[in-house]
Amino acid sequence: MSRIGNKIIKLPAGVTVSRGDNNVVVKGPKGEISQYVDPAFTFEQEGDEVKVLRPTEQKRHKALHGLYRSLVNNAVVGVSEGYKKELELVGVGYKATNQGNVLDLSLGYSHNVIFVVPEELKVATEMVKGQNPKVILEGSDKQLIGLVAAKLRELRKIEPYKGKGVRFVGEQIRRKAGKTAAK
């Protein structure tokens, strides 16, 4: 019995879900997302509620039931409300600026890092005196935002001694104790 797969997906006003051959298309006020779903799975829609039904009780179908329900639900939330991730650059002299979807990051290297964000996402930078620079990613595709945020974090991984690097806002870092002076 899949607890997640059996949950009902509530559709907000203005959001429609339609089934293609191998995918589900979710349309809403913030865009359109197409998500692959195994053709054996069916969708039952009653009013503003959608339920994902698995074809058999095979182990493979049970494993995918909750996954497909979560993917479709993420698409519904994305096209109605959208997703947002904030990253902060912690380190002396770290800076972030953007022109359109091109990020120019100064991360302590001998050169600036130029990062092109996909057109589906909106990017903004925020530099307030006395605070760490922030990069804000917004869009309707949760997977794409997570992927871009992970790639940005890889540009300067967090080091455990001083906590410098690119991290999510509010993320807790495990710090290590440094060397202690002899004598």
For residue 153 the two structure tokens come to 């974090």
Mean pLDDT to the nearest integer, 71-89? 95
Q: pLDDT at position 181, please? A: 67
Helix axes of 142-155 and 59-80: crossing angle, nearest 10 degrees: 90
Q: pLDDT at position 182, please? A: 63
Q: pLDDT at position 172, please? A: 92
Amino acid letter for position 124: A
- Give the count of beta carbons closer than 10 Å to the beta carbon of residue 10: 14
Q: pLDDT at position 11, please? A: 94
pLDDT at 183 exceeding the cut of 80: no
Mean pLDDT to the nearest integer, 160-168? 94
pLDDT at 2 exceeding the cut of 90: no
Q: pLDDT at position 178, please? A: 84
Q: pLDDT band at 179, cuts 50/70/90?
A: confident
pLDDT tens per residue, range 29-76: 999 999 999 999 999 999 899 999 999 999 999 999 999 999 999 999
Distance CA 151, CA 146 (A): 9
Q: pLDDT at position 180, please? A: 79
DSSP string covering 92-154, please? TT-EEEEETTEEEEE-SSSSPEEEEPPTTSEEEEE--TTS--EEEEEES-HHHHHHHHHHHHH
Max Cα–Cα distance, the chain, nearest Å = 75
